Amino acid sequence: MTIKPGSQITVEVTTRPTSASATKTLDRLFRRDPQVAAGIRKRKAKRPSHEDWIRGNNWWNHRMKSKSGINLEPGARYSLRADLDVIRDLHSVERFVSVS
């Protein structure tokens, strides 16, 4: 796989990642897609970030988490800029994706 740094690439998932580390790597890479990033920002702005309640005469709290919004099913396509760290990460998961 020869990718020129700074170019715009499209990454397509060909098979589901089999390891947790590959899933996390692809999740981190695909969050760089502008459409995915915009969706994450919108979701984060709308959700409640902190919830408080009293239980047993004590205050308890919980910080909310957003879902990633990324689909790792075969056929999913994401467009992102090929930085050096992106290229390095793509080499580690190249058996699960195709780059064009």
Q: What is the per-residue pLDDT across 47-74, written as a single tens digit (0 to 9) for each?
A: 878 889 999 999 999 988 777 779 999 9
Q: Cα 19 vs. chain centroid, distance in angstroms?
A: 15
pLDDT of 46 reads 85
Which of the pair, 75 or 40, is modelled with greater confidence? 75
Residue 89 pLDDT > 90, yes or no?
Answer: yes
Question: Helix, strand, or coil here: 27?
Answer: helix
Residue 44 pLDDT > 90, yes or no?
Answer: no
Separation CA 68–CA 27 (nearest Å): 8
Separation CA 82–CA 87 (nearest Å): 6
Report the range of poorest mean pLDDT among 8-17, 42-51, 70-79: 42-51
Domain chopping of the chain, boundaries: 8-99
CA dist list (Å): 60 to 52, 54, 63: 6, 6, 11
Rounded to two decimals, the pTM is 0.80
What would the 3-class secondary structure string for 44-85 be?
Answer: HHHCCCEEEEEECCEEEEEECCCCCCCCCCCCCEEEEECCHH
